[in-house]
């Protein structure tokens, strides 16, 4: 038999194609069944020896030599599919069967093994012209297309009769033949809906000014925009009307009170001058002495800084009062 006789061979994985080709190549060597042999050079091999030779030829490592050990190897390394109740290939227990899998039988011969697997073969697939399942291995008594064969060959895949002592145990992929498949990632379903994150934009706090505060701000802005400072806004001395009373001393007292109320902070020199003007008119000698003493004091002290507009206005008012009493 050749690969052209196998249905769907072109769709097999590359590693499985190589395994099937090397197996079919051994069938052309006319090797007999030789118990305990796994070397074609001896002219024959047994069932486990034939499978061992083919797997080692594919580069697989740690391949066991006995059929029961191979079954345990598959169970530990890949997955062993058991078929305890299957009576035909239509059973769900054969749903995972694929070309290249190892097949295991129990009790084909008398054995004292703990696991009574005594026979192993390789599943090749289906024959193209008949659609029947075929296997590869070594046997002494199995048949192909109704003809009994002995040795290393291709055989029909039949299930043992349920009433017999021999049973088909199971099947599985040879460890290391195919690349390891990544394990599926299982995502647990959640009953809670996924909520979108809420983005909160932080803004600077805004303060709402009261109507009274707004009015004060408006007045402050209006005062700041005026050409002169608020402290310099005084009544025009030219527009001040001075009412002269009957007696000069009473007029002087009222004038002094009005000056104190119009300006709360004046220089000491200015207060002294106003106080002197409210007293009785001094004699000429005392006036001359006072003027000479004050002139001497002025020569010793440094010059005073220039007066502001407010001070000049006050000085003009004081001088007007002085002229009034000197008349």
CATH architecture of 3-172: Alpha-Beta Complex (3.90)
Residue 117, φ and ψ in degrees, nearest 5: -80, 125
The tokens 């289906």 sit on which residue?
A: 126
105-161 tens-digit pLDDT: 999 999 999 999 999 999 999 999 999 999 999 999 899 998 999 999 999 999 999
> What pLDDT does 184 receive?
59
Percent pLDDT > 90 in the chain is 53
190-226 tens-digit pLDDT: 555 555 555 555 554 454 445 555 565 566 555 545 5
Contact 115, 102 (CB under 8 A): no
Token digits for 112? 């004292």
Give the start-to-end residue ranges of the domains of the chain: 3-172, 231-326
Lowest mean pLDDT among 38-47, 154-163, 250-259: 250-259
Q: Which residue has the higher pLDDT, 239 or 75?
A: 75
Q: What does pLDDT average to over the chain?
A: 77
Contact 14, 117 (CB under 8 A): no
> What pLDDT does 191 receive?
53
Q: H or E segment at 143?
A: strand 133-144
84-110 tens-digit pLDDT: 999 999 999 999 999 999 999 999 999
277-306 tens-digit pLDDT: 444 444 444 444 444 444 444 555 566 677
Q: Is the dihedral of CA 87, 90, 92, 98 positive or negative?
A: positive
> What pLDDT does 219 receive?
60
């Amino acid at each position: 038999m050749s690969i052209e006789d196998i249905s769907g061979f072109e769709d097999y994985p590359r590693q499985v194609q190589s395994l099937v080709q090397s197996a079919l190549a051994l069938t052309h060597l006319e090797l007999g069944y030789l118990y305990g042999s796994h070397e074609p050079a001896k002219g024959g091999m047994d069932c486990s020896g034939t499978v061992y030779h083919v797997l080692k030829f594919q580069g697989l490592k740690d391949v066991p030599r006995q059929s029961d050990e191979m079954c345990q190897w598959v169970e530990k390394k890949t997955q062993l599919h058991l078929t305890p109740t299957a009576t035909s290939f239509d059973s769900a227990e054969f749903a995972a069967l694929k070309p290249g899998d190892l097949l295991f039988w129990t009790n084909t011969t008398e054995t004292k093994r703990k696991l009574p697997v005594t026979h192993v073969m390789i599943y090749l697939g289906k024959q193209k012209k008949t659609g029947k399942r075929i296997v590869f291995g070594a046997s002494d008594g199995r048949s192909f297309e109704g003809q009994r064969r002995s040795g290393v060959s291709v055989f029909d895949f039949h299930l043992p009769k349920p009433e017999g002592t021999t049973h088909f145990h199971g099947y599985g992929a040879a460890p290391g033949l195919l690349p390891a498949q990544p394990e599926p990632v299982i995502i647990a379903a959640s009953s809670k809906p996924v909520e979108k994150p809420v983005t909160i934009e932080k803004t600077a706090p805004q303060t709402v000014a009261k109507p009274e505060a707004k009015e004060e701000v408006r007045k402050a802005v209006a005062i700041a925009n005026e050409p002169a400072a608020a402290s310099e806004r005084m009544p025009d001395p030219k527009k001040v009307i001075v009412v002269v009373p009957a007696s000069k001393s009473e007029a002087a007292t009222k004038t002094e009170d009005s000056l104190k109320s119009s300006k709360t902070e004046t220089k000491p020199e200015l207060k002294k001058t106003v106080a002197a003007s409210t007293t009785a008119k001094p004699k000429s000698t005392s006036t001359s002495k006072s003027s000479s003493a004050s002139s001497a004091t002025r020569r010793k002290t440094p010059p005073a800084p220039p007066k502001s507009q407010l001070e000049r206005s006050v000085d003009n008012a004081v001088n007007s009062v002085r002229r009034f009493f000197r008349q």
